[in-house]
Amino acid sequence: MRINKFISETGICSRREADQWIDTGRITINGVKAVLGSKVEDGDEVCLDGLPLGSKPKPIYIALNKPVGITCTTESHIQGNVVDFIGHKERIFPIGRLDKDSEGLILLTNDGDIVNEILRVENAHEKEYIVTVDKLVTDTFLNSMASGVRIMGELTKRCKVMRVDTTTFRIILTQGLNRQIRRMCAAFDYKVRRLQRVRIMHIQLGDLKKGKWRNLTEKEVAGLIE
């Protein structure tokens, strides 16, 4: 088994993070520093910073209604990180990100393979948001947002945008550029007042209270891994 897959299956991080740890020399196999592409055999001892990594734990899948001010990172030195906020007894990590100043649905897991499946760009999984801005939402603004907006040197993909009320709209994206919605709004001189994610793929935020989390149902998990 490739070393990054082995590490992700222990539940400590995603494959992407595992590659970073390997690249910086934090991972050893039987006392020898691993390299990208190293293989792990049965009986091998894999260590992170000299401490052995355990076997694959029971998979955990969590939905959190993240409040504003919580950062989607596993870095323990960052105050307000999402892992400490949840305080789960097992090691988990967020799937993707939701900006510190945004709120709503974020998924967390110890299953590194799921992370890759959900975040893979070509899979174009939907994420739905409700956004409140600082001025009137016009038809021109909605149509322009839906058609694609040039931000950070590229044109965003076409998306679905619907008015909710005079200053609020609903938007469904299939990509996840850094601070994408805020940058798209700013391109038309709109400032985001509130940004809430209400859906990831088939998983709905629903009536989950802010700051609370729940385990995904068997049906929801099946929809992720099928």
Domain CATH code at residue 35: 3.10.290.10
Are residues 194 and 133 part of one domain?
yes
Residue 51, pLDDT score: 85
Residue 65 scores a pLDDT above 90 = yes
> What's the CA gap between 126 and 96, in Å, rounded?
13
Are residues 112 and 9 part of one domain?
no
Are residues 117 and 134 part of one domain?
no
Are residues 213 and 115 part of one domain?
yes
Are residues 170 and 70 part of one domain?
no
Are residues 84 and 40 part of one domain?
no
Are residues 79 and 183 part of one domain?
no
* pLDDT tens string 187-220: 999 999 999 999 999 999 999 999 999 999 999 9
Active-site residues: which are they? 99
Domain range for 12 is: 3-52
Domain CATH code at residue 77: 3.30.70.580
Are residues 174 and 213 part of one domain?
no
* pLDDT tens string 100-117: 999 999 999 988 777 777
Residue 11 scores a pLDDT above 80 = no
Residue 56, pLDDT score: 65
Mean pLDDT computed over 89-107: 92
Are residues 130 and 117 part of one domain?
no
Residue 74 scores a pLDDT above 90 = no
**In Å, how far are 54, 120, 136, 149 from 113, measured between CA atoms?**
17, 11, 42, 32
**pTM for the predicted model, two decimal places:** 0.77
